[in-house]
Structure 1
Amino acid sequence: MAEIDPVHFRQTLGRLPTGVTIVTSTDDRGEPIGVACNSFTSVSLDPPLVLACAAKGSSTWPAIRARAAFTVNVLDRHGEWLCRRFAAKGADRFAGVRWTPSPTGPELDGALAWISCTTEVEHEAGDHVIVVARVVGLSQSGLAGPPLVFHRGRYGSFFQPVIRPVPGLTG
């Protein structure tokens, strides 16, 4: 079997749009921590399980792992700046970011939804760790906008025009 070129691999899989989330928790001092994550999906309804992938080289994931609880913040279309902030190394990720404490981790203002999780199991997979977590709480914001997505190396969102019948026009 031929070896897969990493650039070609990334370009090909980049054709599949992914949602953009921020995984948050607190460290052993109670300080907020978080990391951008676009490898997130539901796994099971019964029991309610989700999956997130963390880079083995992440400086944040070990602290989240130690806590074994985290909040997944689902970003809306205006959340690109948050994603970039939480993806940056060495940045003060929470500087100027409004958030509310929760038992599993900070809930970022402006998110579309918050998913509270506890870690069930981790599996090593190449240069990442696959984290399967139990959902222990769910909440949605009052925001009605579209989610932030990542596709072909760029951020974007879905646009769904509202189609209304034109008065007096019949088909």
Structure 2
Amino acid sequence: MDTSTVKVTPGFAATWPAKHGDIPNAYVKADKENDLEILLHVSSGMDINDELQKKLGATNANKVALDLKKSLYGLKQAGRLWNQLLHASLSDAGFTQCISDICLYFKRNEKDLTAAGVYVNISLVTATGAAAVERGFISIALLSNKNLGSVSKFLGTRVMARDVHTYAPD
């Protein structure tokens, strides 16, 4: 993450209304690459009954393999696949990725400017109006973004919204 996201997004949040969220199990939301076949061994705790073994043409459970459909945390490409899904979701919602910082997205309409800062599975949405924050936050809801409410801290930076708006690093 570029340091501009850590500086700019909480800076906006200190001046504008903001919400932050967490996207649980982010990496496993992305599909694996279509041209890549990943097979897994059946784990020791999983029972494959005799009927299913016969149907699959296996002589025992050790001969059965599972075809992976989604990404896993341990895959080398998991981070890239998650980032592609996140980028596609934000782009579909009308956000434009910042040229100088790939973790920062903007959306402008007639009345409002909305900024979304994302670091892996942590999100912060801030805008010139509270309704725009809600709309921006809802646009990430497709990814099961868990609403953590008004932002008070983002990536180690405390955000204090007051009459005199300030933000202070911890």
The structure with the largest alpha-carbon Rg is 2
* Structure with larger RCO (C-alpha < 8 A, sep 6+): 2
More helix, by proportion = 2
Establish whether TM, by shorter chain, passes 0.5.
Answer: no
More strand, by proportion = 1
TM category (shorter chain) comes to under 0.3
Normalising to structure 1: TM-score of the pair?
0.26
